[in-house]
Structure 1
Amino acid sequence: MSKAKLSGRSKRMSSFEGLHKHGGLNLVSLMDIFTILVFFLLVSSGSQQLPSSKDITLPTSVADKVPKETLIISITSTDVLVQGKKVADVAELLTTDEIIINALVTELNFRADNRLYAKTQQSEGLAITIMGDENIPYQLLRKILATCRQTNYTKIAFAAVQTAKNKG
């Protein structure tokens, strides 16, 4: 049988079938994407870690609860930091007789105003974690606690290195 002359429509249809005959879903690429996504979610949803600082040696403690993610005040031997931002100098704070640290009040109020859930928790107090070196003076710690209480950060936690419980 001789080759019949194909019409324009049938040529287009046969060309379309030829191009799309081997189409389908490439599962290897899709599996790669989902594997990367799973690893990303596992890493990013891990337990909360406090920011590490070489300037701070945390005291040791035995704790049963995992800390919640809160605002962090870090106290090094030279600086007081809120979320890594320097707020005050330790040497200056130790020389003044004022109980309330004005720069810390300003920063804590700013942070409280910018929190989405702060308005719902205003009546019950906000949570904060103090991450201070184990050798900081009590006088400095007392000033920071008084400042936190004045700015409605009343749920105060202290960061510590967790040690294993002794079974005896």
Structure 2
Amino acid sequence: MKLTPLQKRAERRDRNQSHVDMNLVALIDIFTILIFFLLSSATGVEILASPKAVKLPQSTAETAPRETIVVVVSADEILVDGRRVAGVSEVMGTEGDLIAPLKAELDVLRSSRKVIREENEALSKAVTIMGDKQIPYRLLRKVMYTAARADFTDVSFAVIKKYEAS
């Protein structure tokens, strides 16, 4: 059976045409729900990442955390922004309150952070201490003293917010 050129073209078009129907309404619904979920889950919750080795004390503080340099003091080591600086046993064994490796690391971080606007000067002098609730006060005092010697004048403590039953 010989087909005419018009019939060949029609047959080719029918063969190459895909008959996939997409229901765009269902896709729009899915994307709307997805966007709503992402927007609602990303609102206003600020949490500092806490290492598993550090058990933070509880507090009823209302102040939200800020983005600062974080000094983590666990039972075994002292970390600055995730890098190990010193061991607690060697720090407790030294005389005086200054922790030399911690001060050196804080000085490096302080000098690397350039302040562009004058109103952000206070933020460059802020440090957050995330100390385990079981560490001795003498160790905490050494960390605070060292932070003050490195010219960090705004010291904050990371705590777990205690919710009061109403």
Q: What TM-score, normalized to structure 2?
A: 0.70
Q: Is the 8 A contact 2:115 2:121 kept in 1?
A: no
Deviations 1:46-96 (A, max 9, x none): 532211211111000002121111111001111000011000110000011
In structure 1, the residue matched to 2:3 is: none
Aligned partner of 1:126 in structure 2 is 125
| CA drift at 1:39 | 6.7
User: What is the aligned-residue RMSD (CA, Å)?
Assistant: 3.8
> Which of residues 61, 64, 70 is equivalent to 1:63?
61
Aligned residue identity for 1:93? V
Q: Percent identity?
A: 31
What corresponds to 2:150 in structure 1?
Answer: 151
CA distance in 2, matches of 1:108, 1:119: 20
For 1:32 and 1:70, how far apart are their aligned partners in 2? 38
Q: Distance in 2 between matches of 1:97 and 1:49?
A: 35
Q: Secondary structure, in 3 states, of the residue corresponding to 2:104? A: helix
Contact 1:88/1:103, CA 8 A, preserved across alignment: yes
CA contact (8 A) 1:56 1:75 kept: yes
Alpha-carbon contact 1:75-1:131 (below 8 Å) kept: yes
- Structure 1 segments unaligned to the other structure (5+ residues): 1-25
Equivalent residue, structure 2, for 1:13? none
- Give the stretch that moved more between structures: 46-55 or 127-136: 46-55
Instruction: Check the 8 A contact 1:112/1:118 in 2, yes or no.
Output: no
Aligned twin of 2:95: 97
Structure 1 distance, partners of 2:104, 2:27, is 51
Query: In the alignment, residue 67 of structure 1 is paired with which amino acid?
Result: P
SS of 1:130's equivalent in the other structure is: strand
Taking structure 1 as the reference length, the TM-score comes to 0.69
In structure 2, do the counterparts of structure 1 residues 150 and 118 end up closer, same or farther at CA, with 3 Å as the change threshold?
farther
Query: 1:164 and 1:108, CA in 2 relative to 1: closer, same or farther beyond 3 A?
Result: same
Which residue identity lines up with residue 109 of structure 2 in the other structure?
A: R
Change (3 A) 1:104 1:162: same
Number of residue-to-residue matches in the alignment: 160
The offset of 1:120, in angstroms, is 4.9
Contact conserved, 1:48 with 1:69, CA < 8 A, in 2? Answer: no
In the alignment, structure 2 segments of 5+ residues that lack a partner are: 1-23
Q: Once superposed, which parts of structure 1, at least 4 consecutive aligned residues long, lie more than 2 Å away?
A: 28-48, 117-125
Q: Deviations over 1:27-50 (max 9, x none)?
A: x99999998788767766753221
Alpha-carbon deviation of 1:135? 0.8
In structure 1, the residue matched to 2:160 is 161
